[in-house]
Structure 1
Amino acid sequence: MSGQCCEDLHNRLARVAFQAGRTLKESFRLSQLEAVVRMVEEHECDFVDALRKDLHKPRFETVVSELMLVKNEAFHATNNLKKWMQPQYVERNLSTSLDDCVVISEPLGVVFIMGTWCSPIQMCLGPLVGAIAAGNCAIISPSECTPHTSELLHRLLPFYLDNECFHVIIVSTNDLPEVVDLKYDHVFFTGNREEGRRIAQAAARTFTPVTLILGGKNPCYVDQHCDIATTAQRVAWARFHNAGQSLVAPDYVLCHRDVKVRLVQALKCCLVQFYGSDPRESCSLGRMVNLEIFNRTRDMLWRSGKVAVGGQAVEAEKYIAPTILTEVAESDPIMQQDIFGPILPILTVNSVDEAIAFINKQEKPLCVYAYSSNSKVISRLMSETSSGSFCSNDSVLQSLMVALPFGGVGASGVGSYHGHYSFDTFSHRKSCLLRSTRFECVTYLRYPPYEDRNLSLMTWASTLSQKSQGWCQIL
């Protein structure tokens, strides 16, 4: 059976299961969420081993940033599912005072979830938790760039989740638009902007709604007034976690000239503290996922700025040392493309105004980070820049909070997920007005022949009342 025929078969099987109402009951959704948790817990060692083979990812990073996040998503959904599924009653006017005006969250149907290689477990299973909670059937497609992790998900899911409602397919990135053409009720994609554009165009052909979590050059502003040692530790961890292969890592630093020397020195100390004198020998540092990403990252490194620390690259191991770049120009290649590697460019600015202007001149990023002990500086960065998320005096953590929505804006994405926001992403909020035919004392006013007196009464009955200030105006 050809690849596309197989994918079409999975789609049709899931569609039949959804139309039969298999996913609608709360008990079914809870059982599937509990199965996701069991799968992650019972096969923790297998997931750790798969990511070690694919990304040389340390066990600590796999557990904290992948498995723990998936379990937290599932626990949060389980704890709140009953409340999320309840109808929401809305404000009524006099003409509808005897009616029920409610919003019902109904599942969309069969959704397609495409993961990314830099977080291959949580970017497949995290959205899947939301799809399950909302009552959908789902087909997930792990990244072909992480073959061991993808094969593990392909093998494990049928043993834990309903085989008719949930499927795993492994599709080449180039073939994803053709798969989207098979018509789903929602497409959730995580990846780079170029691939996201192709997915969105394919989905538009069938009017399929999309959620796009895309990359972006996430700025990190370091103010004159901050704890440099703590800032360096938090920035270094965020940038070099998973060998820099992260959608939410700080992509570049903006700092004052008199801060740069101290910050670079503090970052050097952090790298020795984190990875030792030879990071290549460290068990805490990952590798590039493949030679394509390695070569692209190395080429940007060699053609940009001045290496202050690091810079070594070993092609046979797909290894690039944690690297700090200074004397970086805005026109350098490292500033023109998203960085998926262990490189941190540092640019200088003269003021917070210049930093804000620099950030706003770029495409809207997925994240903005600001380090300062001055609350006014933090407030300005938060309110005067636009990004998918914002975090002050730390990095990445806002993307790990299941109670906060995570997603992009503008060029960094469309839509969001996590917790209740995932439930909303995979739901249709249907407005419902439940009326009786018994009361015509107000309704009759809308019928012809139209009269001014009826218009006045209809307007009075249909207008929402104002709060206290309205009564003050009347009195």
Structure 2
Amino acid sequence: MGRMVPWADTLQRLRETVSTGRAKPAEFRRVQLQGLERFLNDNKQLLQEALAEDLRKSDFESEVSEISISLAEVKLALKNLRAWMKDEKVSKNLATQLDSAFIHKEPYGLVLIIAPWNYPINLTLVPLVGALAAGNCVVLKPSEISRSTEKVLCEVLPRYLDPSCFAVVLGGPQETGQLLEEKFDYIFFTGSPRVGKIVMSAAAKHLTPVTLELGGKNPCYVHDDCDPQTTANRVAFFRFFNAGQTCVAPDYLLCSREMQERLLPALQSAITRFFGADPQVSPDLGRIISDRHFQRLQGLLRCGRVAIGGQSDPQDRYIAPTVLVDVQETEQVMQEEIFGPILPIVMVGSMDEAIEFIRRREKPLALYAFSQSSQVVRRVLAGTSSGGFCGNDGFMHMTLASLPFGGVGASGIGHYHGKFSFDTFSHHRACLLRPSGLEKVYGLRYPPYSPGKLRLLLTAMETPGCSCTLL
């Protein structure tokens, strides 16, 4: 592992860059983004090897969910950088007709990005794209749990970026806690709600704004009119992708008893087609990240009744694609985010009961509804709240940079992806520039006050297209 630069020196170096404004010009930002693009292109094999070591990720999964998504974000930012940076003109009222009014996007300054282990390239570099595009200096804290990827990010990535505006800091929970005592201008955290509270509490001491990308239990409602095999294919693909270690994976399935009976053989068929008769020898099924996470998941296998799978191997950190039935809401598997290849099925009597079940729990990061009727899908959409929503598929909404990605309530604060990343890492500064003359016109607002002056001023301050007045 590369030598860790003492924080004091690192932070001092980056703060000096912030104070000089060196990272602000468009050309400087462009060079950093181009460096990030080169890093991804030059080190693709190295990154795939690291992901395989950490999570037994197949090259297919690494390419689709990590490298290509990160590259697409860099290319989008490079293509649109000047347009995103431009001052945004706004509508004016009569009182400001002769003024220039606009929103100016400026960097926050020194940004801390704390990344997780489950998609250690995507969830590290996509926020970094936004932070660099917005002209910030960045301290990057990759996860110590995905060790091989952390090593590449620590030893190789800094060669591609300007050391005056970028640094990688290493360590575990203790070091992260110490790092959070420092004052940053913005903190972007991806991880669990439990640690999210610690981050938010530390940020509050400095009144530092935060984006928290947290998890939650993502419901998946399956209506009685669904084709069982199509639904099973899609649910199984997204549940068992990355061995289920995905914050937006369907976490539990809600359906009627009849639908469950039709889904179980369809799920078994999908799992066998995807991973063969013995999924443990499939090159396409990942592994659990650590012994600690494996032990936790093994405990969840005791909930309900195993209908499919259930096998595990601690030596290999392997857990078979598993479906649980007869699951009670009070059991552990329904109390915490699973983050593994386990899918509990909870029976409900109707769509309304499913909606009610979802509504009485914390708001999830993602929500899925399967039905051949668009009215059913839209009723679930209208009756619930979640960070994102997808009808008749898994987390495909995440692949669109034109959609914001983020949680709501317990599943997070703020959002990013595409232009939303640039906006997240930019302070939107309200600006009004007034000519220095015309004092006779502007003098109407000065004392002594009169009813005539008040009427004139209220009329002049009316918002265009709105009968309300701004006082």
Q: TM-score when scaled to structure 1?
A: 0.96
1:57 aligns with 2:63: no
**Aligned equivalent of 2:286:** 286
1:32-111 superposed matches below 5 A: 32-111=32-111
Does the CA contact (< 8 Å) of 1:442 and 1:458 recur in 2?
Answer: no
Does the CA contact (< 8 Å) of 2:4 and 2:170 recur in 1?
Answer: no
Aligned partner letter, 2:130: G
**Aligned equivalent of 2:10:** 10
Partner deviation per Cα, 1:283-337 (whole Å, 9 max, x = no partner): 00111100000000110112x1110111011111111111011111111110011
Aligned partner letter, 1:153: L
C-alpha distance in 1 between matches for 2:328 and 2:8: 49
**Aligned equivalent of 1:473:** none
Aligned partner letter, 1:369: Y
Partner deviation per Cα, 1:183-236 (whole Å, 9 max, x = no partner): 111000000111111111111111111110001000001111222211111110
Query: Offset at 1:441?
Result: 4.0
Structure 2: segments with no counterpart, 5+ residues: none
**Aligned equivalent of 2:338:** 339
C-alpha distance in 2 between matches for 1:466 and 1:169: 51
**Aligned equivalent of 2:328:** 329
**Aligned equivalent of 1:363:** 362
- Describe the SS at the equivalent of 1:417: coil
Q: Structure 1 residues 446 and 4, CA, compared in 2 at 3 Å: closer, same or farther? A: farther
Aligned partner letter, 1:425: T
Aligned length: 465
Does the CA contact (< 8 Å) of 1:245 and 1:342 recur in 2?
Answer: yes
The list of structure 1 runs, each at least 4 consecutive aligned residues, that deviate by more than 6 angstroms after superposition, is none
C-alpha distance in 2 between matches for 1:354 and 1:361: 11
**Aligned equivalent of 2:436:** 437
1:33-432 superposed matches below 5 A: 33-302=33-302, 304-432=303-431
Does the CA contact (< 8 Å) of 1:87 and 1:103 recur in 2?
Answer: yes
Query: Offset at 1:382?
Result: 1.0
How well do the aligned residues superpose, as a CA RMSD in angstroms? 1.3
Does the CA contact (< 8 Å) of 1:95 and 1:442 recur in 2?
Answer: no
Query: Offset at 1:30?
Result: 1.3
- Describe the SS at the equivalent of 1:130: helix
- Describe the SS at the equivalent of 2:315: helix
Query: Offset at 1:181?
Result: 1.4
Query: Offset at 1:466?
Result: 3.0
Overall identity of the aligned pairs, in %: 45
Does the CA contact (< 8 Å) of 1:4 and 1:179 recur in 2?
Answer: no
Aligned partner letter, 2:407: G
Aligned partner letter, 1:314: D
Does the CA contact (< 8 Å) of 2:48 and 2:62 recur in 1?
Answer: yes
- Describe the SS at the equivalent of 1:317: coil
Partner deviation per Cα, 1:326-374 (whole Å, 9 max, x = no partner): 1111111100111011000011111110000000010000000011111
C-alpha distance in 2 between matches for 1:5 and 1:394: 45
- Describe the SS at the equivalent of 2:465: coil
Does the CA contact (< 8 Å) of 1:176 and 1:199 recur in 2?
Answer: no
Aligned partner letter, 2:460: A
Aligned partner letter, 1:466: G
Does the CA contact (< 8 Å) of 1:137 and 1:165 recur in 2?
Answer: yes
Does the CA contact (< 8 Å) of 1:415 and 1:425 recur in 2?
Answer: yes
Aligned partner letter, 2:179: V
C-alpha distance in 2 between matches for 1:333 and 1:284: 28
Structure 1: segments with no counterpart, 5+ residues: 471-475
Aligned partner letter, 1:94: L
- Describe the SS at the equivalent of 1:416: coil
